Structure 1
Amino acid sequence: MERRNFLRGAVLTGSVAAFGGSLWRGAAHAAPAQPGAGPYGALRPADANGIRLPQGFTSRVIARSGQKVPGTSYTWHNAPDGGACYADGGGGWIYVSNSEINPGGGAGAVRFDSSGNITGAHRVLSNTRQNCAGGKTPWNTWLSCEEVDRGYVYETDPWGVKPAVRRDAMGRFKHEAAAADPVRKVIYLTEDVSDGCLYRFRPTTWGDLSSGTLEVMTGGSGTSGSIGWARVPDPSAASTATRHQVSAAKHFSGGEGCHYADGTCWFTTKGDGRVWRLDAANNTIALAYDDSLVSGTAPLTGVDNVTGSASGDLFVAEDGGNMEICVITPDDVVAPFLRIDGQSSSEITGPAFSPDGSRLYFSSQRGTSGSGSGGITYEVRGPFRS
């Protein structure tokens, strides 16, 4: 057994004793996902774009960093990162993508008609810093998050019509991703540092992020059980980092992607290769995946951005690993969905489904060059489960 496997096993065992057996039995969840046959079958040889896909799926390049988006006069940004899709009201949709460069940052968007043809591209945010991931709101704005010390969240208009607004009340820290929970009327926020926290922002008025309360998850060092929430005294972090203001705060090793669906907030931590499941109604957490607790070779490593499909499948992008997007099914099977060949110095970012669920958008942040100026944004189309 590898040393890290032994240590993580000790943490899992120790957490039960630390919190009390009856509490943990009451918060039982399914075991972490294990490798198995994926719902889409084996990956086929790489296509002309260097992407290995299951039978029935095809890919196309929709944008390249530093080049005009096809059919438009708009130059695509460097280092494309987190993204989301929005229905445009006329049968088409918009894909928004962050730019993880500093300085400059910001976000851009590509517009499609109902047939998937590119009809335009535009800027939605400028002059920010290292915009990594973010999240979509129920009122169809894009939250673009700065991954720098005391970074901000910016609320942007995917259509590029309304000016972006900085949302100071959502806290200043090394932001990564955001996910909206319309039932509890909160926004979950991840923090990309080695001892980061998971936060939730509770707006004073749902749909208006100009004011509200920033809270941090509290709990012990275990990997499952009950958690709580405590108000962060100073979201501006003027003198003390937000993650160090509440002594009972629960810490995570490098928070990355975040996705909410059907009462669950899923989030990833890159430092320990984990996907977490937060039961928002019952305030419990559990491991949905841990790359050191699988049987055999871990198919998913370097966990990063995450999104979900209508079927309940999670799609987790790798930062490194085998340059794959892996699927975790509702019955706890994990398997590769796609792989990008020849881009080992890059990472996969920004997975997001078109409104009808038939197309998956994502980027290779550094492409074949290994530099942010070589970013490539893709579309994969095929028979996704509904």
Structure 2
Amino acid sequence: MDRRTFLRAAVIGTSTSVAFSFSVAPQALAFPAQTGPSPYGGLGAADANGLMLPSGFTSRVLARSTQTVPGTSYTWHGAPDGGACFADGTGWIYVSNSELSSGTGGASALRFNSSGSVTGAYRILSGTTRNCSGGATPWGTWLSGEETDLGYIWETDPTGATAAVRRPALGRFSHEAAAVDPDRRVIYLTEDETSGGFYRFVPTTWGNLSAGTLQVLRESGSTLSWVTVPDPDGSPTRTRRQVSGMKVFNGGEGCYYRNGTCFFTTKGDNRVWAYNAVNNTIAIAYDDGLTSNPPLTGVDNITAAAVGDLYVAEDGGNMEICIITPNDIVAPFLRVTGQSGSELCGVAFNPAGNRLYFSSQRGTSGSSSGGITYEVTGPFRTSL
């Protein structure tokens, strides 16, 4: 049995008929996703910003690392990474991490008015290291993870009005993304290690991350269970080495929760996973080895549109953000040209769902000082 057939059988064997749908949509029966036509059609020629987009879509550059954000006095941070949008009156705020090392990381924010014009830019987190990805909370904060050994999660205020707070109860490890599950009142966490775990944090009081229980997913045969990590501080024994039988994931990256399912990515095997929190099962939603001519490689940050489409950014590959539809079709949504030494990250929709934000971490220069943050506007679909 070849790898493709074996893995396909393994997915079916887990009896996980997980739905991609975020509202009412058909149950996904064709995991893993297969290469097919995008609902937006093919990509056009590169625009003035070097982006290849579907017909009807346009792009603009919002900020460049080490340069002043137009219309403000704020210098945009280097190595922009994970991001999210937050409602702000009639406008919104886009938060972006900075994956710089040695205490020079952190996070910044762009503020928009109702027409989409940038009205402000400012720092919301400073003095931290390699802030890679994170996640938004229902109570309006941004969880910024340090991708370093014994890294922390920092809870930040997108408005910048309140100082960021370190949250050690969420564990010390190489943090990537966080996704809040308000239905079970837990927070899922990915770990960027080749032998990493998939965690969840159970707050003692919902909405307060100062205390709670850190758990990791364990697999025994075909049974999954959440097991408490004895020492979330990770010292002297790292969290991923404390629970026997922990299910290992090869380089955890982005994660995104919606309606009972947490989708998360692993870069070591180019997979998108679907953890069904309702049935406590897991499936491979995408694997570049299980589809012909796979468009998506170097999987990294992930977000979703309200209609149910997943958007996955590439770290490497051919610098694309790919779409995975509720019908399990994977296709390129956009491509960034002339930036092969970079990676795409920070994918996030504004609250209305008609503007997509993302960054090229190292831009055309291939350096952390060359990062570029973009906005894409167009006819994003609102129904299937």
TM-score bucket of the superposed structures, by smaller chain: over 0.9
Displacement of 1:385 in angstroms is 1.3
Structure 1 residue 230 and structure 2 residue 227: aligned? yes
Structure 1 gaps of 5+ residues are none
* Rounded Cα–Cα distance in structure 1 between residues aligned with 2:131 and 2:122: 17
Structure 1 residue 174 and structure 2 residue 171: aligned? no
The corresponding residue for 1:349 is 345
Q: 2:11·2:283 contact (CA, 8 Å) conserved in 1?
A: no
* Rounded Cα–Cα distance in structure 1 between residues aligned with 2:10 and 2:369: 46
Q: How does 1:299-310 map to 2 (within 5 A)?
A: 299-310=295-306
Q: Using a 3 Å threshold, how does the CA distance of structure 1 residues 14 and 52 change in structure 2: closer, same or farther?
A: closer
Q: Using a 3 Å threshold, how does the CA distance of structure 1 residues 62 and 205 change in structure 2: closer, same or farther?
A: same
The corresponding residue for 1:101 is 100
Identity %: 65
Q: 1:66·1:78 contact (CA, 8 Å) conserved in 2?
A: yes
Displacement of 1:349 in angstroms is 0.5
Displacement of 1:83 in angstroms is 0.2
The corresponding residue for 1:213 is 213
Displacement of 1:28 in angstroms is 3.8
Which structure 1 residue ranges, 4+ long, deviate > 3 Å from structure 2?
A: 5-16
The corresponding residue for 2:26 is none
Q: Using a 3 Å threshold, how does the CA distance of structure 1 residues 41 and 220 change in structure 2: closer, same or farther?
A: farther
The corresponding residue for 1:70 is 70
Q: Using a 3 Å threshold, how does the CA distance of structure 1 residues 227 and 8 change in structure 2: closer, same or farther?
A: farther
The corresponding residue for 1:326 is 322
Q: 2:218·2:224 contact (CA, 8 Å) conserved in 1?
A: yes
Cα deviation code 1:64-118 (max 9, x no counterpart): 00000110000000000000000102x1000000000102110000000000001
310, 314, 317: which is aligned to 2:310? 314
* Rounded Cα–Cα distance in structure 2 between residues aligned with 1:15 and 1:279: 13
* Rounded Cα–Cα distance in structure 1 between residues aligned with 2:281 and 2:197: 15
TM-score if structure 1 supplies the norm length? 0.93
The corresponding residue for 1:248 is 245
* Rounded Cα–Cα distance in structure 2 between residues aligned with 1:239 and 1:130: 22
* Rounded Cα–Cα distance in structure 1 between residues aligned with 2:132 and 2:145: 6
* Rounded Cα–Cα distance in structure 2 between residues aligned with 1:331 and 1:28: 13
* Rounded Cα–Cα distance in structure 2 between residues aligned with 1:12 and 1:315: 23
Q: How does 1:1-386 map to 2 (within 5 A)?
A: 6-7=2-3, 9-10=5-6, 13=9, 24-25=14-15, 27-29=16-18, 30=29, 31-89=31-89, 91-103=90-102, 104-220=104-220, 226-294=223-291, 296-386=292-382
Displacement of 1:207 in angstroms is 0.2
* Rounded Cα–Cα distance in structure 1 between residues aligned with 2:188 and 2:5: 28
Structure 2 gaps of 5+ residues are 19-28
Cα deviation code 1:303-340 (max 9, x no counterpart): 00000001100000000001000000001000000000
Q: 1:310·1:385 contact (CA, 8 Å) conserved in 2?
A: no
Write the letter of the residue equivalent to 1:93.
W
Displacement of 1:15 in angstroms is 7.9
Write the letter of the residue equivalent to 1:267.
F
Q: 2:156·2:165 contact (CA, 8 Å) conserved in 1?
A: yes
SS across alignment from 1:227: strand
Displacement of 1:373 in angstroms is 0.3
* Rounded Cα–Cα distance in structure 1 between residues aligned with 2:235 and 2:50: 47
SS across alignment from 1:345: coil
Q: Using a 3 Å threshold, how does the CA distance of structure 1 residues 209 and 182 change in structure 2: closer, same or farther?
A: same
* Rounded Cα–Cα distance in structure 1 between residues aligned with 2:168 and 2:283: 31
* Rounded Cα–Cα distance in structure 1 between residues aligned with 2:43 and 2:335: 8
* Rounded Cα–Cα distance in structure 2 between residues aligned with 1:118 and 1:206: 33
Q: 2:145·2:177 contact (CA, 8 Å) conserved in 1?
A: yes
Cα deviation code 1:206-256 (max 9, x no counterpart): 1000000000001158xxx54210000000011111001000210000000
* Rounded Cα–Cα distance in structure 1 between residues aligned with 2:11 and 2:349: 37
Q: 1:226·1:285 contact (CA, 8 Å) conserved in 2?
A: no
SS across alignment from 1:373: helix
TM-score if structure 2 supplies the norm length? 0.94
Cα deviation code 1:114-166 (max 9, x no counterpart): 00001000000000000000000000100000000000000000000100000
Cα deviation code 1:239-278 (max 9, x no counterpart): 1110010002100000000000111100000000100001
SS across alignment from 1:169: helix
RMSD (Å), alpha carbons: 1.4
Q: Using a 3 Å threshold, how does the CA distance of structure 1 residues 370 and 350 change in structure 2: closer, same or farther?
A: same
Write the letter of the residue equivalent to 1:329.
T
Q: Using a 3 Å threshold, how does the CA distance of structure 1 residues 249 and 349 change in structure 2: closer, same or farther?
A: same
SS across alignment from 1:377: strand
Displacement of 1:10 in angstroms is 3.8
Cα deviation code 1:36-69 (max 9, x no counterpart): 1111111000000000000000000000000001
Write the letter of the residue equivalent to 1:176.
E
Displacement of 1:6 in angstroms is 3.6
SS across alignment from 1:219: strand
